[in-house]
Structure 1
């Protein structure tokens, strides 16, 4: 696994030991960023269920000012910290070891808001619609923020999601990627 483009392009990232973490494939990662960018002029990114930190690292590599990387698994957080150290840009990343719900609540209490949210939950623990509603309730998203959700093929999305405009739904062999835009009028 590597950083696909931008400042850190070509850097190899460490994988989480074992088989409990499924990193986003480089091809899918490149496709995601082509849908939402592909480059950014600053901003704050939030990478939930970060695993290796690859999506958040890619966002910073492509121009985001900072990424907050959240995972609850000890081995994942250890790997994320190693990957951030490899980049020699630790000040551009915050690593949080907490559940997504606890981390989002804490970030909201600090009045943090994000321009880009990347969410790749374990395929067996998908609560995507609940978490999307939670982002709106906690006011974690800046107006017009982009939210990218990678899920298994078994997730069925409604035609409309309160608080968002659906920009795109792209399917791959075993995954689908939903791209949303925060829409306060919805």
Structure 2
């Protein structure tokens, strides 16, 4: 393991996550996670969470720490997926499952609706639009789901029209935004 990051709040507050030293692994900064979970505070309890490009798993583990019912971590890199599993086990974080596959492959599987999805793909791969469409069209989001999107500050990802911006912020060269899925009444 090459580093550690801290869980900011909830039952696992101040717990450390072991983070493997992998090229391109970019944990969401503590300050950003704290802001995001302040925004999510009213709805996180009991939520079904999808950490689609898990990396360190910090976003999903933070959600479990703050009362989410479950979190599915999707991570194709074997060492990163193993680190997420090990952190979940060591912290006794119940409700976490790890899918060791890539996000696009995962989204081609059998869908189940999530209340909250974290969309933070490796920046160099430019997958925001494809993954957002997969989430939206594949049955992965509950009707009023929340979607967190992290991207470079100067990138405006193309997202589904049914996602409306709730809040956004910037930290250094990163833009972070929370969207609410709002389907038209039929």
- Structure 2 length-normalised TM: 0.90
The residue that corresponds to 2:71 in the other structure is 67
CA–CA distance in 1 between the matches of 2:125 and 2:157?
16
Question: Could you tell me the TM-score, scaled by structure 1's length?
Answer: 0.90
- Alignment partners' CA distance in 2, 1:95 and 1:184: 29
1:8 equivalent in structure 2: 12
The answer on whether the counterparts of 1:115 and 1:141 sit within 8 Å (CA) in structure 2 is yes
Cα drift, residue 163 of structure 1? 1.8
Deviation at 1:105, TM superposition (A): 2.1
**Alignment length (residue pairs):** 181
Deviation of the 1:39 alpha carbon: 6.2
8 Å CA contact 2:128–2:157 kept in 1: the answer is no
1: CA distance, partners of 2:35 / 2:110: 28
1: CA distance, partners of 2:149 / 2:82: 23
For residue 175 of structure 1, report the CA deviation from its aligned partner.
Answer: 0.3
Where 2:125 maps in the other structure, the secondary structure is: coil
* 2:100 aligned with 1:101: no
Partner of 1:29: 33
Q: Shift of the alpha carbon at 1:8?
A: 0.8
Aligned to 2:84: 80
For the aligned residue pairs, the C-alpha RMSD in angstroms reads 1.8
Q: Secondary structure at the match of 1:101?
A: helix
What 5-or-longer segments of structure 1 have no aligned partner? Answer: none
Does structure 1 residue 17 correspond to structure 2 residue 21?
A: yes
